[in-house]
């Protein structure tokens, strides 16, 4: 993907103090049997049951063994946390109505059956992608952050590239696959990378260049439509947002809030840099792939690639670099001290992947890993 700087538009002037951007979160959740921990093909039945319950924000996913929730756009972490927990509990209530539960797990710890959701698009995806689509049963967390148009959005995409692997490491929550420990903290990242059109992107330089790349991708007839442009971060096709897609669904809703806060701060920092005329870091995309691999492999348990000089450093050092980078945006949002406390808590208790492995070690049973996840998914962490 060639960089196109000749078409780059000048940023609009700053007309006042930074405003707090709205953000929203989509979470994909596994549907599991509460007795066995196995995944269950309850997606369609769950949505039918939801029509008769006071719940909302639920959508189908590729496989019937999962469901997607979506919050409304909000500005504060308090509002986002309340909505996230409410959506999880709504999904669980609908799942209970059909004999299932929801679990915030990036992949199923136990061997999982797959049942493609009904719909012409899902069938077309399967027909095109074959085993890649059939095996895909992963749950991610997508953070949407409001932007002021496509030019600002692409400027943001160009500037957040080096920092996204740190987000992957913080959210790592998928160590098991088909009943085995994969040795990865985020095996979802590995499974997801099988799709064409995934991963980090080159610097685009302008909205026109971004659109040109997407047009060329679609012209290969590899992707069905623009909805399958699965970049690590992209312009949303449905909302005026940048959509950051590198995180596993987090086991603990507090970690989801931390990821969302850091993503918004990254977007704000990048937009401010663009307006100040600061160019994006020219990190080769191949190095970003290596950084993403280390984040997927180790989470916070080993060295990560430092976003500024591409050298391996202790995970805490890479995370601290991210916090320093976005400290101004976090401070403006009133979230800097809060984020530091949340990060200290995360390092103390471990990522979702570390907690899954600890539960497996404690009980020597993957069913207990699922049962623990069901409890944590809908628990109120603030009580």
Question: Using CA atoms, how far apart are residues 203 and 209, in angstroms rounded to an integer?
Answer: 9
Confidence of residue 14 (pLDDT cuts 50, 70, 90): very low
SS3 content of the chain, % helix, strand, coil (to 5): 45, 15, 40
Confidence of residue 237 (pLDDT cuts 50, 70, 90): confident
The DSSP line for 17-67 is SPP---EEEEEEEEEE-TTT--B---HHHHHHHHTTTT---EEE-SBTTEE
Check residue 2 and give its pLDDT: 39
Q: Which of 3.30.590.20, 3.40.50.720, 3.90.1150.10, 3.20.20.120 would CATH assign to domain 23-378? A: 3.30.590.20
pLDDT at 13 over 60: no
Question: Using CA atoms, how far apart are residues 189 and 178, in angstroms rounded to an integer?
Answer: 15
The separation between CA 376 and the C-alpha centre of its own chain, rounded to angstroms, equals 19
Question: Using CA atoms, how far apart are residues 145 and 285, in angstroms rounded to an integer?
Answer: 23
pLDDT in tens, 177-216: 999 999 999 999 999 999 999 999 999 999 999 999 999 9
Give the percent of the chain with pLDDT over 90: 89
Check residue 11 and give its pLDDT: 54
Check residue 362 and give its pLDDT: 94
Bridge partners (DSSP) listed for residue 66: 30
Question: Using CA atoms, how far apart are residues 352 and 250, in angstroms rounded to an integer?
Answer: 6
The 3-state DSSP class for residue 301 equals coil
Question: Using CA atoms, how far apart are residues 214 and 41, in angstroms rounded to an integer?
Answer: 34
CB neighbour list of residue 63: distance below 8 Å, 6 or more residues apart: 41, 43, 114, 115, 116, 117, 136, 137
Check residue 56 and give its pLDDT: 78
pLDDT in tens, 297-324: 999 999 999 999 999 999 999 999 999 9
Question: Using CA atoms, how far apart are residues 173 and 305, in angstroms rounded to an integer?
Answer: 19
CB neighbour list of residue 171: distance below 8 Å, 6 or more residues apart: 141, 186, 246, 247, 248, 249, 250, 255, 259, 351, 352
């Amino acid at each position: 993907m060639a960089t196109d700087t000749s078409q780059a538009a000048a940023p609009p002037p700053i007309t006042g103090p930074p405003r707090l951007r709205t953000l929203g979160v989509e979470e994909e959740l596994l549907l599991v049997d509460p007795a066995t921990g196995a995944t269950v093909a309850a997606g369609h039945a769950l949505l039918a049951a939801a029509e008769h319950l006071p719940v909302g924000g639920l959508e189908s996913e590729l496989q019937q063994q999962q469901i997607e929730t979506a919050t409304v756009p909000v500005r504060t972490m308090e509002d986002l946390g309340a909505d996230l927990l409410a959506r999880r509990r709504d999904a669980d209530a609908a799942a209970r109505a059909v004999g299932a539960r929801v679990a915030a797990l990036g992949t199923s710890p136990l061997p999982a059956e797959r049942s493609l959701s009904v719909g012409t698009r899902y069938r077309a995806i399967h027909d095109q992608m074959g085993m890649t689509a059939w095996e895909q049963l992963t749950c991610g967390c997508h953070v949407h952050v409001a932007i002021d148009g496509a030019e600002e959005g692409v400027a943001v995409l160009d500037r957040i590239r080096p920092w996204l692997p740190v987000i992957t490491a913080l959210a790592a929550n998928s160590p098991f696959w088909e009943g085995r420990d994969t040795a990865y903290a985020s095996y979802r990242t590995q499974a997801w990378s099988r799709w064409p059109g995934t991963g980090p992107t080159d610097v685009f330089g302008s909205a026109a260049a971004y659109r040109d790349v997407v047009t060329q991708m679609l012209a290969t007839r590899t992707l069905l439509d623009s909805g399958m442009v699965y970049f690590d971060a992209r312009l949303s096709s449905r909302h005026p947002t940048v959509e950051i897609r590198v995180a596993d669904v987090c086991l603990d809703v507090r970690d989801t809030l931390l990821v969302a806060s850091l993503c918004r701060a990254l977007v704000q920092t990048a937009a401010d840099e663009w307006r100040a005329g600061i160019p994006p870091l020219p990190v080769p995309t191949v190095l970003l792939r290596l950084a993403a691999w280390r984040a997927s492999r180790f989470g916070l348990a080993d060295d990560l690639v430092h976003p500024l000089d591409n050298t391996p450093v202790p995970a805490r050092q890479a995370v601290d670099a991210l916090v320093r980078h976005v400290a101004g945006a976090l401070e403006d949002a009133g979230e800097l001290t809060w984020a530091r406390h949340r990060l200290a808590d995360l390092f103390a208790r471990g990522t979702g992947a570390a907690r899954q492995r600890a539960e497996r070690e404690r009980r020597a049973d993957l069913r207990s890993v699922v049962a623990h996840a069901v409890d944590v998914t809908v628990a109120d962490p603030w009580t």
